[in-house]
């Protein structure tokens, strides 16, 4: 494709390679290294003057290092005279800090948006933001791709009978409703209540789940506490097989151990964040979003509607 260049940061190299293969282009040659004090050094080894540049880099753990590397890459492409720079951020870190929920705390999602814009990004592409209002923190175009569509496509092919979609908490109802609508199945909600500060949560379920197979969706799995607690409560209330779907595999703390010991039969996730192959368990199935990103890049580069691919 004329004037199209794709760059990969160090956070998601396998995903970037898949995107480049779908687009039939090569990844731009760049040298990324660290100085002795930890500073990141980056040099683009090819000319990108006048190019439509797409920089692929998730701001996943280590979040600060990957975010800083992305900012440096944007600055390098800007100073190398790229015509347009799109920051492709499959997982947008700091999206959970989207409002002041306590006194004297920052709105870090807005800070990151400002940093990306100031660095020189002309556009941002991301997948399944934790909070949709983060799009409004930018004064440049933002394309939020629905990674859930990739997971839904995979799950629908399983043809699970007697299925109900269950939101693991009240905050996840919007995501669960989208899954239920696309699959054409009923919706239920886990209502978590803590009677007192030092008492365990009481799980109430709104909806019929007894004797049914369940799908618990979410935008991410971090510690897996909410997900696994919901699965345990649902199993105790008569659920049959339980599967889950989450776009972003953060998997922090003892997430793998919790999932392994939980009633969850299978967890479907994506490669917006690389999953450690030495730690991954059989219950986890990783589905690639490489083709989704590639299609969106093709639409943007050729001035076509991104929405048409969904």
- Segment 259-275, tens digit of pLDDT: 999 999 999 999 999 99
Quote the mean pLDDT of the chain: 93
Express as a percent the part of the chain with pLDDT over 90: 83
Q: Residue 271: which of 255, 288, 294 has the closest Cα?
A: 288
Q: Are strands 4-8 and 52-56 parallel, antiparallel or unpaired?
A: parallel
Determine the average pLDDT of the residues in 165-176.
90
Collect all residues with Cβ–Cβ distance below 8 Å to 201 and sequence separation of at least 6: 192, 193, 194, 229
- Segment 44-75, tens digit of pLDDT: 999 999 999 999 999 999 999 999 999 999 99
* Cβ atoms of 108 and 97 closer than 8 Å: yes
- Segment 116-162, tens digit of pLDDT: 999 999 999 999 998 888 999 999 999 999 999 999 999 999 999 99
Residue 171 has pLDDT above 50, yes or no: yes
- pTM: predicted TM-score of the whole model, two decimal places: 0.93
CA–centroid distance for 14 within its chain: 15
Q: What is the pLDDT of residue 276?
A: 87
Determine the average pLDDT of the residues in 296-300.
97
Would you call the peptide bond into 62 cis, given omega within 30 degrees of 0 as the criterion?
Answer: yes
Q: Exactly one of 17, 78, 192, 285 is catalytic; name it.
A: 192
- Segment 188-233, tens digit of pLDDT: 999 876 666 555 465 788 999 999 999 999 999 999 988 998 999 9
Give the domains, in start order, of the chain with CATH numbers.
4-145 (3.40.50.2020), 149-287 (3.40.50.2020)
Beta strands in the chain (DSSP E): 4-8, 30-34, 40-44, 52-56, 84-89, 123-127, 142-145, 163-167, 187-193, 202-206, 213-221, 242-249, 264-270, 284-287
Residue 106 has pLDDT above 80, yes or no: yes
Q: Is 45 a catalytic residue?
A: no
């Amino acid at each position: 494709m004329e004037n199209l260049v794709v760059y990969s940061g160090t956070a998601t190299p396998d995903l970037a390679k898949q995107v480049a293969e779908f687009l039939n282009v090569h990844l731009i040659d760049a040298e990324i290294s660290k100085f002795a004090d930890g500073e990141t050094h980056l040099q683009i080894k090819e000319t990108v003057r006048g190019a439509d540049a797409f920089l692929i880099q998730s701001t996943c753990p280590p979040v600060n290092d990957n975010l800083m590397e992305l900012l440096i890459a944007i600055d390098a492409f800007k100073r190398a005279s790229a015509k347009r720079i799109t920051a492709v951020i499959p997982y947008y870190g700091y999206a959970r800090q989207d409002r002041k929920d306590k006194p004297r705390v920052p709105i870090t999602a807005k800070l990151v948006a400002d940093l990306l814009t100031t660095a020189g990004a002309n556009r941002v592409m991301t997948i399944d933001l934790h909070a949709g209002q983060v799009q409004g923190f930018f004064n440049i175009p933002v394309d939020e791709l629905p990674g859930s569509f990739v997971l839904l496509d995979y799950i629908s092919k399983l043809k699970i009978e007697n299925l109900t979609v269950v939101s693991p908490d009240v905050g996840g109802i919007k995501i669960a409703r989208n899954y239920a609508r696309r699959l054409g199945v009923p919706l239920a909600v886990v209502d978590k209540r803590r009677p007192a500060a030092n008492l365990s949560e009481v799980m109430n379920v709104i909806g019929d789940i007894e004797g049914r197979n369940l799908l618990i969706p979410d935008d991410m799995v971090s510690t897996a506490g909410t997900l696994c607690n919901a699965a345990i409560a649902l199993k105790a209330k008569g659920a049959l097989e339980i599967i889950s779907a989450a776009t972003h595999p953060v998997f922090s703390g003892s997430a793998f151990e919790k999932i392994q010991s939980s009633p969850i039969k299978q967890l479907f996730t994506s490669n917006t964040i690389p999953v450690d192959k030495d730690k991954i368990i059989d219950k986890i199935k990783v589905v690639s979003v490489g083709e989704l990103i590639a299609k969106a890049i093709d639409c943007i580069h050729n001035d076509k509607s991104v929405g048409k691919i969904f």
